[in-house]
Chains A and B, each alone.
Chain A
């Protein structure tokens, strides 16, 4: 459908430049149909050099700033805006993948109107707008606008528009809206706003199921960065810092935590209050003058009773309480979506109380002044549905990618209510379940094509600007609304701003230098925060655990998918194909239950479970884990779409079947005390369905068998100092730095005969290989060459968020192969994150292979080890290639020459790290439907059928950096000037890249700082990798197997 022919493409390239500057205010159909030849050089564009625009990420509500990297005025990559206070240059996986929305092959290419035959038919903007205008006029105020949160400018416009067209209701609908937290804040502090948590420099962070560093967190990039900075083991205070996680499931945050308390789901509040009480008693510290009210609240929560109710041992509670009291800067984070129960307000309030006791208010917890709540509560959505049912809504406008049909529970009756609405207008730019039921589709621009703004928090205003001329005949939502208004006549349009939505945004920014703001990405100032004291309403809160519907034996825990979010990410193939950080499953839904539960149900991984709640039932393959409570079954939210090339399963006959399951379909539409949506609301009866489904997972076992991969070291051992127990690099000093590459004669003796640590000092020829066992920058590149590129990866900082994986795929044109190929272990990602649990046991394998999980309840010894090409000095892959298609570059890189490769695949067999990928099919043709080829990185070859490929350390970026340095008259690029895609986006700065020959380079510094825990993957193979890993640090925290 959305085919772009070559001429079209050239047109975009030609006009693009102008478009980027002037986009947003015109219509595709009104464009001059002529090519502007490149002989008229646009001064903004030098072919081959990227032009970068600052904008704002629209994938979730965190509001991270992005730099849109465009080439010949086509966005090819999103990168974090280093100046932006929220993400400081990093992006999460979802942000990285966001670019794919613009080039999505399913996009609506123009306005559609449902014909009498019930099928969509093309129409023109004028016709569409006039018809819709007429319907709205006829509706006489029975108009409703339902949409996701938008930037303030657009939000104000919508309100003004609604007023202008004769009134109507507006529901800002966000599935993961955190109404409970807002309510709790107003209950505890009397300020109705969502607090902002600042983990900077915290020495104690207690996360009550917020999964704050996980993809589903409130502001994952920011919190991950702050947390890992606070835990930097290079610093004394960093070593003292602790992260404690409370939650039923070993999720991303739990995996990096020092202590994990698997409390009963729903009992977090009780736990928080008990901890608060201990802390309070240990050291009476709290908001001034609040002792009395606090005592009143905390009285009923002795550690023992709490232990009874939460399943966490009283000792643990006491210890935690004392830790809170002792902490210099502690903070407790209220629950995330998964644990938002019918008592969510109480739970959140309890956690806030703990924050008060911990003295976090004002230091690590900031409360913005109460604003008019932009996000409506779930109760309003329900009200709207009732109105629709009763026919009080004649025209419904759905915008901002809101997809209530998919994200509202069936028993809310939205789908049925939608039938009752005479005119449903969808502004979706991608087809989804809701837009497919609309009568009109007036496709919106994608964020990369639109103007807009965002105000994620006080003092931070961020701009969205178009970076490409709209690919299709779409129109910005704002312009559509204005168009409709004008179509309704001057009476209506008069009260609205004239001109285009771009003008609206500009006027919203009047009083600031828009130009400067556009360059910066927005206005980043310090916000002013309220410093409230405890409110009296605290006393009115009823502290009880929630009642769960149904009498199944399992608590149904709907966890937001770290990659797909509320399901909007399911349309992006990169997010679908990136393995889940915990289970490494792609493209599918799975149910997590404990291994004990699985055993009692008699199911193995992949056996299908039938999950029944009073509100429905679904069948989903099981993934037993050690890291989840026995009474919990967790299913990720986000899959189960029935519309979309990637979101749904395309059957050969052209129809589409649901991909995975939509867990929302078995959830009730219940609310918490204050009318917020309750997710943790149902119990499930679970039994084996007697079917098996092979899950598309990419890692079968998390047992590293004691091999030198994903290492960890105890804080004690590290504090003692001394060299790393894995003895990397030791002999580097011994090596005569004059040794030419050939000096490493047969240094690549596989399975190095010399035991680690034993680095013969004598330099006679015979022992040279042994000396060179250790990695040496000089010997692994040409002595005459100024570079030996290398990397340092801090396993202790890696949260497994997989942003690097997506960034790598998009930067390097890595093809998406789809579910069936992933099942056949043909995923093409150059960079994978291996997740190991514990040191592993070299246990002997059973005859029946299958996924193995070695997690244990209450244990958090998880090592996320990013695995990519190690660019070995003595690379086993190089000597075995008969045609020299892979070789060692003068700068020490392990080069891969695609058009010399004949595909013997010997190199991969001989690669101990198994980082090489092979083009089994012609992915150029098979996996880049139009217009996706437009987003290919022109600096990176798209690999042909039958050749090997692998990580190149982003050679194109290295080359660009070297050339830039040359043009600036420097011999070599400054340290840090060249960043690999994975390093650039890593929220926690776990990856350092640079020139190993430069003693003072960041990469050497990082390795030196972590010398005590440095190791090389599979060191005893003597491949002399260019990547130095820094082991995870196990901080002492006792186990709390509930």
Chain B
């Protein structure tokens, strides 16, 4: 299937184009942008990102591990220390807290990899260095007969150029 690449200079235009294309039923889209722009991302993926879930799970694992580790180890072999109780929660809370952050942070990172489908070393046909400069790209995959229409749509939305990256 052919893919058309429209090149834009304004994030707003990209977003508009995306909305329009979706409206016309063209859903197989991909965008390239040199910087994060919420309007584009939201137009592309209305649903919230799945990273949050990962963070939550990580954090919970951390806090549970923290308390479990400390309490179990302190009571596995009870050693008297300065007349303090074996299970002293306040100091163990610090360990639990640190582990919460640690696990949460790491899981968040893994979340980024999974949700963001990274690493992906098969470079997209439409991608080129200009999109890590200041241009925005919008790639539409469509049937032969829609090419002309999409070309028109893209130009209508101030695409500076439209090209066919795959016949």
Do A and B touch, yes or no (CB under 8 Å, in the complex)?
yes
Q: A residues touching B (Cβ–Cβ < 8 Å)?
A: 741-742, 744-748, 772, 779-780, 782, 872-879, 884, 887-890, 1024
A878 touches B82 (CB 8 A): yes
A888 touches B80 (CB 8 A): yes
Complexed CA–CA distance, A1024 and B82 (Å): 10
Complexed CA–CA distance, A494 and B122 (Å): 114
A742 touches B85 (CB 8 A): yes
16 contacts between A and B (CB under 8 A): A744-B84, A745-B84, A748-B84, A780-B83, A873-B83, A875-B83, A876-B82, A877-B82, A878-B80, A879-B82, A884-B79, A887-B79, A887-B80, A888-B81, A888-B83, A1024-B83
**Interface bits B36-77 vs A (CB < 8 Å: 1, else 0):** 000000000000000000000000000000000000000000
> Which B residues between 82 and 115 are near A, CB-CB below 8 angstroms?
82-86, 88
A-B contact count (CB 8 A): 50
Complexed CA–CA distance, A873 and B83 (Å): 6
Closest to B91 in A: A879
| A-B CB proximity, top 9 nearest | A744-B83, A888-B80, A874-B83, A878-B82, A879-B82, A878-B81, A748-B82, A742-B85, A747-B83
Contacts of A877 in B (CB 8 A): 82
The smallest C-beta distance from B75 to any residue of chain A, in angstroms, reads 11
Complexed CA–CA distance, A872 and B83 (Å): 9
Closest to A748 in B: B82
B83 touches A748 (CB 8 A): yes
Complexed CA–CA distance, A741 and B86 (Å): 9
Contacts of B82 in A (CB 8 A): 748, 872, 874-879, 888
Contacts of A878 in B (CB 8 A): 80-82
Complexed CA–CA distance, A779 and B84 (Å): 11
Complexed CA–CA distance, A742 and B82 (Å): 10
> Which B residues between 124 and 167 are near A, CB-CB below 8 angstroms?
none
Contacts of A744 in B (CB 8 A): 83-84
Complexed CA–CA distance, A884 and B82 (Å): 11
Closest to A889 in B: B80
A779 touches B83 (CB 8 A): yes
B85 touches A745 (CB 8 A): yes
The smallest C-beta distance from B124 to any residue of chain A, in angstroms, reads 52
Closest to B80 in A: A888
B80 touches A772 (CB 8 A): no
The smallest C-beta distance from A330 to any residue of chain B, in angstroms, reads 51
Contacts of B88 in A (CB 8 A): 745-746
Complexed CA–CA distance, A824 and B86 (Å): 39
The smallest C-beta distance from A66 to any residue of chain B, in angstroms, reads 39
The smallest C-beta distance from B28 to any residue of chain A, in angstroms, reads 58
* SS of B interface (majority): loop
The smallest C-beta distance from A167 to any residue of chain B, in angstroms, reads 75
B83 touches A772 (CB 8 A): yes
Contacts of A884 in B (CB 8 A): 79, 81
Contacts of A876 in B (CB 8 A): 82
The smallest C-beta distance from A782 to any residue of chain B, in angstroms, reads 8
Q: B residues touching A (Cβ–Cβ < 8 Å)?
A: 79-86, 88
A887 touches B84 (CB 8 A): no
Complexed CA–CA distance, A742 and B75 (Å): 12
Complexed CA–CA distance, A877 and B84 (Å): 12
Among B79, B80, B81, B86: residue with most chain A CB under 10 A: B80
Closest to A744 in B: B83
> 4 extra interchain contacts, Cβ-Cβ under 8 A, other than A884-B79, A884-B81, A887-B79?
A744-B84, A745-B84, A746-B85, A877-B82
Complexed CA–CA distance, A782 and B83 (Å): 11
Closest to A877 in B: B82
Complexed CA–CA distance, A93 and B79 (Å): 38
Complexed CA–CA distance, A621 and B84 (Å): 50
Closest to B79 in A: A887
Contacts of A742 in B (CB 8 A): 84-86
Contacts of A874 in B (CB 8 A): 82-83
Complexed CA–CA distance, A748 and B86 (Å): 14
Among B81, B83, B86, B88: residue with most chain A CB under 10 A: B83
Contacts of B83 in A (CB 8 A): 741, 744-745, 747-748, 772, 779-780, 873-875, 888, 1024
The smallest C-beta distance from A775 to any residue of chain B, in angstroms, reads 11
The smallest C-beta distance from A1040 to any residue of chain B, in angstroms, reads 49
Contacts of A780 in B (CB 8 A): 83
Complexed CA–CA distance, A717 and B74 (Å): 49
The smallest C-beta distance from B77 to any residue of chain A, in angstroms, reads 9
Complexed CA–CA distance, A719 and B133 (Å): 95
Complexed CA–CA distance, A888 and B82 (Å): 7
The smallest C-beta distance from A817 to any residue of chain B, in angstroms, reads 30
Contacts of B86 in A (CB 8 A): 742
Contacts of A879 in B (CB 8 A): 81-82, 84
Complexed CA–CA distance, A917 and B86 (Å): 28
Closest to A1023 in B: B82
Contacts of A745 in B (CB 8 A): 83-85, 88
Closest to B83 in A: A744
Complexed CA–CA distance, A465 and B63 (Å): 71
Complexed CA–CA distance, A741 and B85 (Å): 8
A746 touches B80 (CB 8 A): no
Complexed CA–CA distance, A872 and B85 (Å): 16
Contacts of B84 in A (CB 8 A): 742, 744-748, 879
Closest to B84 in A: A879
Complexed CA–CA distance, A131 and B135 (Å): 111
Complexed CA–CA distance, A999 and B79 (Å): 27
A887 touches B81 (CB 8 A): yes
The smallest C-beta distance from B95 to any residue of chain A, in angstroms, reads 12
Closest to B77 in A: A884
Among A741, A772, A877, A1024: residue with most chain B CB under 10 A: A741
Contacts of A772 in B (CB 8 A): 83
Contacts of B85 in A (CB 8 A): 742, 745-746
The smallest C-beta distance from B71 to any residue of chain A, in angstroms, reads 14
Complexed CA–CA distance, A874 and B82 (Å): 4
Contacts of B80 in A (CB 8 A): 741, 782, 878, 887-890
Complexed CA–CA distance, A879 and B82 (Å): 6
Complexed CA–CA distance, A889 and B81 (Å): 9
The smallest C-beta distance from B117 to any residue of chain A, in angstroms, reads 43
Contacts of A782 in B (CB 8 A): 80
The smallest C-beta distance from A830 to any residue of chain B, in angstroms, reads 21
The smallest C-beta distance from A64 to any residue of chain B, in angstroms, reads 42
Closest to A875 in B: B82
Contacts of B79 in A (CB 8 A): 884, 887-888
Complexed CA–CA distance, A890 and B79 (Å): 9
Complexed CA–CA distance, A884 and B80 (Å): 10
Complexed CA–CA distance, A298 and B80 (Å): 70
Closest to A782 in B: B80
The smallest C-beta distance from A263 to any residue of chain B, in angstroms, reads 53
Among B79, B81, B86: residue with most chain A CB under 10 A: B81
Complexed CA–CA distance, A747 and B84 (Å): 7
The smallest C-beta distance from B83 to any residue of chain A, in angstroms, reads 4
Closest to A742 in B: B85
Closest to A888 in B: B80
Closest to A876 in B: B82
Contacts of A1024 in B (CB 8 A): 83
Contacts of A746 in B (CB 8 A): 84-85, 88
Contacts of A872 in B (CB 8 A): 82
Closest to A1022 in B: B83
Closest to A910 in B: B82
Complexed CA–CA distance, A745 and B79 (Å): 14
Complexed CA–CA distance, A888 and B80 (Å): 5
Complexed CA–CA distance, A877 and B83 (Å): 11
Complexed CA–CA distance, A872 and B80 (Å): 12
Contacts of A779 in B (CB 8 A): 83
The smallest C-beta distance from B46 to any residue of chain A, in angstroms, reads 51
Complexed CA–CA distance, A811 and B88 (Å): 39
Closest to A772 in B: B83
Complexed CA–CA distance, A777 and B144 (Å): 93
The smallest C-beta distance from B52 to any residue of chain A, in angstroms, reads 36
Closest to B86 in A: A742
Complexed CA–CA distance, A548 and B103 (Å): 86
The smallest C-beta distance from A735 to any residue of chain B, in angstroms, reads 12
The smallest C-beta distance from A281 to any residue of chain B, in angstroms, reads 64
